[in-house]
Copies of this chain bind each other. A is one copy, B any other.
Amino acid sequence: MTQDSIKIFCPATIANISCGFDVLGLALSAVGDEMVIKKVPIPGLRITKIIGLDLPKEVENNVAGVAGLAFMEASTYKGGFEIEIYKKIKAGSGIGSSAASAAGAVWGMNALLDAPFSKRELVQFAMAGEKLASGVAHADNVAPAIYGGFTLVRSTDPLDIIPIHAPKELYASIIHPHIEIKTSDSRKILKTSISLADGIKQWGNVGALVAGLFQEDYDLIGRSLVDHIVEPIRSILIPGFDEVKQEALNAGALGCGISGSGPSIFALSKGLATATRVTQAMSNVFVKMDLSYDPYVSEINTKGIQIIS
């Protein structure tokens, strides 16, 4: 790496994939932020520009800043970094807006220093940014942003991330309805205990989903995209959720659920044509409700964060 400045693409991500609450995530190609990371002689970390969202530039109050500080604390590098953030992922959309910034900062800094840290270590640094954003140092968005594809966070302490094979014909549909749900609020409404019977169903589905992904068994993926625990509670916060889900399934989606802690709703489909039809069917529900929204159709981004220039 001879460059002192890189521009990178930082993908949006879907966490809590149906049965995979708090463990399964995937990275998208069709939507993401851009960031410019510069290596500079003056020590310290500065956020010099933020376009697209009104976010604090003070590093201690910015998720990219906090993640970057965690990186620099562990690094032997004596110089400094400057960060420009071009936000395309809306805050509070449920597709990993804070994760993209946190992961992008540390990934970019690592690339400029010839990659002294592993992907796993970068996730660990980025989790500091997630903690600032939501109060919880979760890894289920930053892991797929950094690794690409599907990731399973087996454990956060110690951090154990397992890349899961992404079938080639799998596409994601996302609808982001313009309503606000705070991650911290949507955590509060969850029950702290669940029935053993529901737990058994959930881990049966997680095991089956992982098997379906490795075997590219789309029917099995569809049968396993079921959430007995969180969706029944959180979906109450998303107007039109049940109808959107039903329309997605009617249009041929393998499964449909809440992206992250919402309000975005995702569906997975086999093939781009079906995913496009599914996105349209989901959109129609919000059109009918006169609720504005952003629709996306995306392949699974198997590379994660990448250098643009």
- A115 is an interface residue with CB less than 8 A from chain B: no
Q: Are B196 and A192 in contact (CB under 8 A)?
A: yes
- Which of A42-50, A119-127, A154-162, A295-303 is the contact stretch? A154-162
Q: What are 28 A-B pairs at a CB distance below 8 A? A: A19-B203, A20-B203, A20-B207, A23-B203, A23-B207, A152-B208, A154-B204, A154-B208, A155-B201, A155-B204, A160-B208, A160-B223, A162-B212, A190-B196, A191-B196, A192-B196, A193-B193, A193-B195, A194-B194, A194-B196, A194-B199, A196-B229, A199-B203, A203-B206, A207-B207, A210-B211, A210-B214, A214-B215
Q: What CA separation (Å) do A255 and B37 show in the bound complex? A: 44
Q: Are B201 and A203 in contact (CB under 8 A)?
A: no
- A189 is an interface residue with CB less than 8 A from chain B: no
Q: Would you list which residues of chain A between 120 and 165 have a CB under 8 Å from chain B?
A: 152-155, 160, 162, 164
With a cutoff of 8 Å between Cβ atoms, the chain B residues found around residue A21 in the complex are 200, 203
When all copies of this chain in the complex are counted, the total is 2
- A6 is an interface residue with CB less than 8 A from chain B: no
With a cutoff of 8 Å between Cβ atoms, the chain B residues found around residue A22 in the complex are 200, 204
- A205 is an interface residue with CB less than 8 A from chain B: yes
Q: Are A209 and B208 in contact (CB under 8 A)?
A: no
Place the interface of chain A in its size category.
Answer: 35 or more
> Which of A195, A207, A211 has the most chain B CB within a 10 Å cutoff?
A207
Q: Taking the nearest CB of chain B, how far is it from the CB of A213, in angstroms? A: 9
Q: Are B199 and A229 in contact (CB under 8 A)?
A: yes
Q: Are A152 and B211 in contact (CB under 8 A)?
A: yes
With a cutoff of 8 Å between Cβ atoms, the chain B residues found around residue A200 in the complex are 21-23
- A224 is an interface residue with CB less than 8 A from chain B: yes
Q: Are A204 and B153 in contact (CB under 8 A)?
A: yes
Q: What CA separation (Å) do A199 and B206 show in the bound complex? A: 12
Q: Are A208 and B20 in contact (CB under 8 A)?
A: no
> Which of A20, A22, A154 has the most chain B CB within a 10 Å cutoff?
A154
- A181 is an interface residue with CB less than 8 A from chain B: no
Q: Would you list which residues of chain A between 220 and 259 have a CB under 8 Å from chain B?
A: 220, 223-224, 229
Q: What CA separation (Å) do A205 and B155 show in the bound complex? A: 8
With a cutoff of 8 Å between Cβ atoms, the chain B residues found around residue A194 in the complex are 193-196, 199
